Amino acid sequence: MTDYTLKPQQQLLPLAYADAEMPISGAPSIPINPSQQCIPQHYLQYQHTHKSVSDIVNDIEFDIRYPIFVSIDESSLVLQVGILGQDNYKANTPQNPLHIVYGRKWRVEKNLPSAEIIQTVYLALQKAKEHEIREVFTLLDTHSQKHSTPFSGHHDTPLLASTIAASTITA
pLDDT of 105-143, one tens digit each?
Answer: 999 999 999 999 999 999 999 999 999 999 889 899 999
- pLDDT over 90 (residue 156): no
Phi, psi angles (nearest 5°) of residue 139: -130, 130
Spell out the residues 6+ positions from residue 171 whose beta carbon is closer than 8 angstroms to its own: none
Q: What are the distances in angstroms from CA 113 to CA 42, 43, 58, 116, 141?
A: 8, 10, 17, 5, 48
pLDDT of 69-112, one tens digit each?
Answer: 999 998 899 999 999 987 766 666 667 788 899 999 999 999 99
- pLDDT over 70 (residue 3): no
Give the residue ranges of DSSP H helices in the chain: 50-58, 114-136, 157-170
Return the exposure string of 43-66: e unless at least 16 CB atoms fall within 10 Å of the residue's CB, then b: ebebebeeebbbbbbeeeeeeeeb
Domain limits, the chain:
11-46, 50-135, 140-170
Cα separation, 60 vs 125, whole angstroms? 11
Return the pLDDT at 112: 97
Q: Which of 76, 61, 66 is nearest to 112 (CA)?
A: 76
DSSP state of 157: H
DSSP state of 64: T
